[in-house]
A = this chain, B = another copy of it.
Amino acid sequence: MSEKNLQVLLANRPQGPVAESNFSIVETPLPVPGAGQVLVRNHYLSLDPYMRGRMTDAKSYAKPMDLGEVMVGDTVGEVVTSNHPGFKPGNKVAGYLGWQTYGVAAGADLHVVDDSKVPLSSYLGVLGMPGATAWVGLMDICEPKAGETVVVTAASGAVGSIAAQLAKIHGAHVVGVAGGVEKCRFVVDEMGLDACVDYKAGRLAPDIKAATPRGVDCLFENVGGEIFDLLLGRMNAFGRIAVCGMISQYNGEGYGMKKMLSVVLNRLKMQGYVVNDYKDRWPLAHKELHEHLAAGRIKYRESVAHGLRSAPTALIGLLKGENFGKQLVKLIPE
């Protein structure tokens, strides 16, 4: 094969917001699979907020990437050659091959997926890490009861949209927070949420209050900062907060949260979590999400960037909330 592998590397660490200059793009020879390994041509790369954390060397749940490493990321693709009995050329597989057009992995680090009934890309969204993240945070940490008020921030995003629809399926009154009229329209009209607060409308505090007349029993938090602070002030007694992420806080000095007294006054539980700590829950999460998706109970949006060279710009956009739904990079031509 004369085909080359295109790769995006971490060139240097961001100081503040991520910039194009933090990445370098290189062409390398196609990797050759060793014993027990599989060569995969990647069709889609998933872009996710956690990548921002991996680019820095601050203390975190994930060890920082080394400079010069291929950027990490979930992928789905097709087996090219296999030295592992579980895989044959043409199999569709999900893995963690990173920002490159081809990749090699041990068979144990890949799994075959069935894209006959659902799109291949859904294994990076509803049926992948974002889906499991939403399920664990909502079902195991928030534990919403029918009739309770659940608020989900970044409600049209890859994780938030699933958490919000799961909450609806379980009978909660669900309010989304999203940026812009179009996202809020999607959240209410297509996802079926009860209300949406547009944080770009400039009336955040009164809009949050108006959307939660009975307070908030469960908060599924993806954003952090002022939105989180205002919602903290709306929590009901014995409220639960699943802190999935704080995308507004990844670039430096944190927003000063003024309503922490609510944690005492309302006996709140706040739990930060990382889905990889809940691997034992993934099979159940996956099974339920697959059923909901196949039955049309979960709607989702994708933003698809085309070509690996567009990945840095797409990640920068994601971190600013410019995407709409799950952010993917399509790595093969139409």
A interface residues (Cβ-Cβ under 8 A, vs B): 53, 58-61, 224, 228, 237, 243-246, 249-250, 253-274, 277
Please, how many angstroms separate the alpha-carbon atoms of A121 and B32 in the complex?
77
Interface of A, secondary structure class, is: loop
Given the contacts A253-B258, A254-B259, A258-B255, A265 and B61 also touching, CB distance less than 8 Å: yes
A252, chain B: closest CB distance, angstroms: 10
Please, how many angstroms separate the alpha-carbon atoms of A168 and B130 in the complex?
41
A49, chain B: closest CB distance, angstroms: 10
Contact B273 A271 (CB under 8 A): no
Residues of B within 8 A of A53 (CB): 265
Contact A269 B266 (CB under 8 A): no
Please, how many angstroms separate the alpha-carbon atoms of A273 and B265 in the complex?
8
15 further A-B contacts with Cβ under 8 Å, apart from A243-B264, A257-B260, are: A59-B265, A61-B237, A243-B263, A249-B261, A253-B258, A254-B259, A255-B260, A256-B256, A262-B272, A263-B270, A266-B272, A267-B273, A267-B274, A268-B272, A269-B269
Residues of B within 8 A of A269 (CB): 269-272
Residues of B within 8 A of A257 (CB): 254, 256-258, 260
Residues of B within 8 A of A262 (CB): 272
Contact B259 A267 (CB under 8 A): no
Residues of B within 8 A of A270 (CB): 263, 268-271
Can you name the residue of chain B whose Cβ is closest to the Cβ of A272? B263
Can you name the residue of chain B whose Cβ is closest to the Cβ of A238? B277
Q: Which 4 residue pairs across A and B have the least CB separation, nearest first? A: A256-B256, A263-B272, A254-B258, A270-B270
Contact B265 A260 (CB under 8 A): no
Contact of A245 among B61, B246, B264 (CB under 8 A): B264
Given the contacts A267-B272, A267-B274, A268-B272, A254 and B246 also touching, CB distance less than 8 Å: no
Given the contacts A254-B258, A255-B258, A260-B246, A265 and B224 also touching, CB distance less than 8 Å: no
A16, chain B: closest CB distance, angstroms: 15
Can you name the residue of chain B whose Cβ is closest to the Cβ of A249? B261
Q: List 30 A-B pairs, Cβ < 8 Å.
A: A59-B265, A61-B237, A224-B260, A228-B260, A243-B264, A244-B264, A245-B264, A246-B261, A249-B261, A250-B261, A253-B258, A254-B259, A254-B261, A255-B256, A255-B258, A256-B256, A256-B257, A257-B257, A257-B260, A262-B272, A263-B272, A264-B274, A266-B272, A267-B272, A267-B274, A268-B270, A268-B271, A268-B272, A269-B272, A270-B270
Please, how many angstroms separate the alpha-carbon atoms of A250 and B261 in the complex?
8
Please, how many angstroms separate the alpha-carbon atoms of A173 and B274 in the complex?
27
Most-contacted residue by chain B among A244, A265, A274 (CB, 10 A): A265
A221, chain B: closest CB distance, angstroms: 9
